Amino acid sequence: MVKKSHGFRARTRSLMTKRVRKKGLAPLSTVLIDYNVGDRVNIVIDSAVHKGMPHKRYHGRTGVVTGHRGRALIVDVSLGKAMKTLIIRPEHLKPAK
């Protein structure tokens, strides 16, 4: 029997694949957005950037920016009854509307 893999990106074949015309790095405008404390953001993982990538369970969730840490942002996300604090780079965030 083959041992089951428990990696960080396990079972993400469809979750982290990009469509044909979206492959490669995202435009710089997504990285240059200024997020302020209190802004609501959507977590959308960009699979082309591995640094500062959140876990797959947070993909599609909405959180609140609570601070900055270097180039990354500190985001609070509710997961059930718990509040989780994530450190995510701006490549994986989009402003919530």
For 31-81, strand residue ranges (E) read 40-43, 62-69, 72-79
85 closest CA partner among 94, 96, 76, 95: 76
What's the rounded Cα separation, in Å, for the pair 85 and 59?
A: 14
What per-residue confidence (pLDDT) applies to 73? Answer: 98
60-87 per-position pLDDT tens digit: 999 999 999 999 999 999 999 999 999 9
- What is the pLDDT at residue 65? 98
**What is the tens place of the pLDDT at every residue in 6-57?**
999 999 999 999 999 999 999 999 999 999 999 999 999 999 999 999 999 9
Q: Which residues are CB-neighbours of 74 under 8 A, at least 6 positions away?
A: 65, 66, 67, 68, 85, 86, 87
- Tell me, which fold does domain 20-95 have in CATH? SH3 type barrels. (2.30.30)
Residue 76: what pLDDT? 98
- Determine the pLDDT at residue 46: 96
Q: From residue 10, how far is each of 16, 36, 63, 80 by CA, in Å?
A: 10, 33, 24, 22
**What local confidence, expressed as pLDDT, does residue 1 receive?**
87
